[in-house]
Amino acid sequence: MKDIKRWLPGALVSIILIATILYFVDFSKMLAAIRGADYRLLVLSIPISFIWMFIRGKVWHTLLRDKPTYKDVLFSAGEGYLLNNFLPFRLGEVGRAFLLSRKSGLPFGEIIPTIVIERIVDLAFSAALLLAAIPALPFVAETEGSERIGYIVGVIVLIGLVMMYILAHNNQWALGLFHKLSSRWPSLQKIGGSFLESFFTGLGVLTDGWLFLRFMFWMTLDWAIALAGYYVIMLAFFPNAQLSWGLFGLGAAAFGGAIPSLPGAVGTFEGAIVAALTIFTNDESTSLAAALCMRLYNYLNSGVIGGIGLLSEGQTLSGIYQQLMSFRNKKD
């Protein structure tokens, strides 16, 4: 309850969106859509889901400069996504850095910036997908300036990357400034200085051109596989679905997952998918059926890979949560 100010806004967003979906959806029609779906395509989406996870592990492994083993990175990523599905405050992001640090011996502060870079580039891809799909939107010709939203998000993301690039190139100046400002607090200077050194080491990927190109190659492939998975599920419910639906739906889902919400983006993910598909189909009920299958698609890879990782390490969700809260309190 002491964290109510942190979790309540996200909970309210999720509850409002869930209530809105429940109001508009015809559940008998939704169940009929699930029964009438093309299960051959739904089964096809299962291996695509795991391929996406394996490539996502390679994305993070590249950002980490191949220092940990790929196995440790893959299972840590799966554990992090699994934790995000059930724990508040997106603790899965901190959790995977915490778990990988413990397995590999890499400093926590060196791992965190790789996750920040990954998430910022994810937002850039989300914006790019939305931009690519905008010409296909039924109302785009009637709404002036609607395409500017994607451009604004893209510019913000680009500015964030540029600022991190400048910071990575001027890390000694930034460290010197920190030590100067924190000279009156020796304990802060010691702990903060150590963390910043590790943080700047993690940001070094932005200053290594070849490494960054490798990262972008794997990230592009990963998003292409994600698009294929979502599009296949859409085809299972809407045989006439166009690729632009997949572009817009995936981009909207990514932004929906970034909005404050209950754990696992409950409500925001479904709301984003239903809204995106309803724009093209005017069918909220079948769109929700597709959204629920997409949620299962997302849970599948993290549940299996993350679950195997936790079991092999003798961990439980509640145990990891307690460790993370203890770790966060120490950081605070």
Residue 22 lies in a domain: yes
Residue 141 is predicted with a pLDDT of: 43
| pLDDT for residue 197 is more than 90 | no
Cβ atoms < 10 Å from Cβ of 286: 23
Query: What is the DSSP track for 187-238?
Result: HHHHHHHHHHHHHHHHHGGGG-HHHHHHHHHHHHHHHHHHHHHHHHHHHHH-
Residue 43 lies in a domain: yes
Please give the residue range of the domain that contains residue 38: 8-331
Residue 131 is predicted with a pLDDT of: 77
Q: What is the pLDDT of residues 71-117, one digit of tens each?
A: 999 999 999 999 888 876 677 888 899 899 988 888 888 888 888 88
Residue 72 is predicted with a pLDDT of: 94
CA-CA distance, 78 to 100, in Å (whole number)?
A: 11
Residue 313 lies in a domain: yes
**Under 8 Å between Cβ of 219 and 125:** yes
Residue 198 lies in a domain: yes
Cβ atoms < 10 Å from Cβ of 258: 16
Residue 2 lies in a domain: no
Residue 1 lies in a domain: no
CA 155, 62, 220, 268 dihedral sign is negative
Cβ atoms < 10 Å from Cβ of 70: 15
**Under 8 Å between Cβ of 97 and 323:** no
Arithmetic mean of pLDDT, 301-318? 86
Domain count for the chain? 1
Q: What is the pLDDT of residues 254-284, one digit of tens each?
A: 887 777 777 778 888 999 999 999 989 999 9
How far from 220 is each of 28, 73, 88, 124, 132, CA to CA, in Å? 39, 19, 29, 11, 15
| pLDDT for residue 233 is more than 80 | yes
Q: Between 2 and 12, where is the model more confident?
A: 12
User: Considering the chain, what percentage of its residues have pLDDT values greater than 70?
Assistant: 82
| pLDDT for residue 120 is more than 50 | yes
pTM (two decimals) = 0.81
